[in-house]
Structure formats: C-alpha cells, structure tokens
C-alpha cells in the first residue's frame, strides 16, 4: 500500500506561466496517517474484536490553476439568473381551424 504525496503548492503565477495580478490562494493539503489507541477505536462483533491499526486521511487536492472556479450561486440573490432545470416552454395555438371542404 502506498500514499500519494501532497499536490504541489502553485506559485503566484497565472495559467500556463503567465503572471497574474491576483495570486492563486495557497491551500494546504496534507495526507495524514495516525495510529489511534484506546477502547474507543475497537469494534466488538461475534467473531472477535476489531482494532483500528492505522487511520489514513486523504486530503482533497485543490483545483488546477488553469481551471475556472465553480461559482456557488446564491438562491436568495435578486440578480436575474438563467432558467435551469424544471422550466418548460409549450407553444399553444388558440385559433379555431376551419373544417376542410367536404367533396362528395
């Protein structure tokens, strides 16, 4: 079993090496491995007692600097937003059609 190293900390550069006015925020992402001890880390079942040997926490890596950030829209904002799922458009004609001519 192996643990991946943490992702690199990107310098204050824009995408593809261009300089940027706004620096990329530094996010610390570290994987942690601990060895907990004590009765609270044991689980008793019919086969016996299971004891937690290693507690591995894998950090979520930050997005790549070249990717656009995902906006988190505020549903209570008063700014107009585009229509999303659940909106349907139905076209209806309310004019009466004349009956076609009847030939004998």
pLDDT in tens, 24-33: 555 667 888 8
Condensed to tens digits (0 to 9), the pLDDT of residues 33-80 reads: 899 888 898 999 999 999 989 998 888 877 777 877 767 777 787 877
Q: What is the pTM of this model?
A: 0.34
Q: How far apart are CA 89 and CA 80, in angstroms?
A: 19
Q: What is the DSSP letter of 42?
A: E
The pLDDT confidence band at residue 6, using thresholds 50, 70 and 90, is low
pLDDT for 26 equals 59
12, 22 Cβ separation under 8 angstroms = no
102 has a pLDDT exceeding 80: no
State yes or no: pLDDT of 92 exceeds 60: yes
């Amino acid at each position: 079993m192996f643990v991946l190293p943490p992702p690199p900390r990107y310098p204050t550069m824009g995408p593809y090496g261009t300089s940027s006015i706004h620096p990329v925020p530094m996010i610390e992402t570290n994987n942690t491995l601990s060895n907990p001890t004590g009765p609270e880390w044991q689980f008793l079942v019919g086969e016996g007692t299971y004891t937690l040997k290693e507690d591995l926490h894998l950090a979520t890596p930050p997005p790549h600097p070249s990717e656009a950030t995902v906006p988190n829209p505020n549903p209570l904002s008063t700014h107009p937003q585009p229509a999303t799922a659940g909106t349907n458009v139905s076209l209806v004609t309310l004019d009466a059609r004349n009956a076609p001519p009847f030939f004998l």
